[in-house]
Amino acid sequence: MNDNDLENKIVHFFVENPTLWCREEDKYKINEIDIINTLRSPIAIGFLMIWSVFESRLTNGNMLTFNKIHEYSVDISNRIKNNNFDITDELNHFVHRYTIKDNHNIHIKHLFYKRDNEKTEFLKLLENERSVVNDIETIFSVVYRFRNNMFHGNKKVASWLELKMEINYCISFMIKVLNLLESA
């Protein structure tokens, strides 16, 4: 199969008829409705597109891992200097979401499903005194987990898409970081 044939097959399966791909690839147990909803969701497509650019630009083309978030957060904070980099809304939203006692456990559980070490590190961030690096790392950790939960999580895409407000805050943070990187 040449490159053109492969590209045409991809376009046909994913763009022209995603349900056909789901039926032909039934071995993966992919829900047709989830595929259609994802392809029709500007927020899902936006998140995926921005994540790709964000990860590539931030890591110089390498793959981002959770244990590198602190290092990149320090780098981002060092670039701020006189730039307008206000992440107050994103920070307040996520700190509130993950520290409210009534819902604390369920949100943390879903965000860090089967990732106890990462969850422990994140909870330490929430308990630490606020600082620029800590604030960036807190939001960055949430963005990273949202990305991983979309691709590898225990939830279906439909339930991920229900978190539109959180996804919008993730997108907002990534755009602010990209703008900062471009201005530095």
pLDDT in tens, 37-58: 777 788 888 998 999 999 999 9
Provide the pLDDT confidence category of residue 86 given band limits of 50, 70 and 90: very high
Residue 75 clears pLDDT 70, i.e. is over it: yes
CA 97 to CA 105: how far, in whole Å?
10
pLDDT in tens, 93-135: 998 888 866 655 777 777 777 778 888 888 888 888 889 999 9
Residue 8 clears pLDDT 70, i.e. is over it: no
**Model pTM score:** 0.80
The predicted pLDDT at position 123 comes to 81
Average confidence (pLDDT) over 4-29: 60
The predicted pLDDT at position 45 comes to 86
Q: Where are the chain's structural domains?
A: 1-30, 42-183
Provide the pLDDT confidence category of residue 69 given band limits of 50, 70 and 90: very high
CA 65 to CA 72: how far, in whole Å?
10
Would you put residue 85 in left (φ > 0), alpha (ψ -120 to 50) or beta?
Answer: beta
Residue 21 clears pLDDT 60, i.e. is over it: no
Residue partners of 48: CB distance under 8 A and separation at least 6:
150
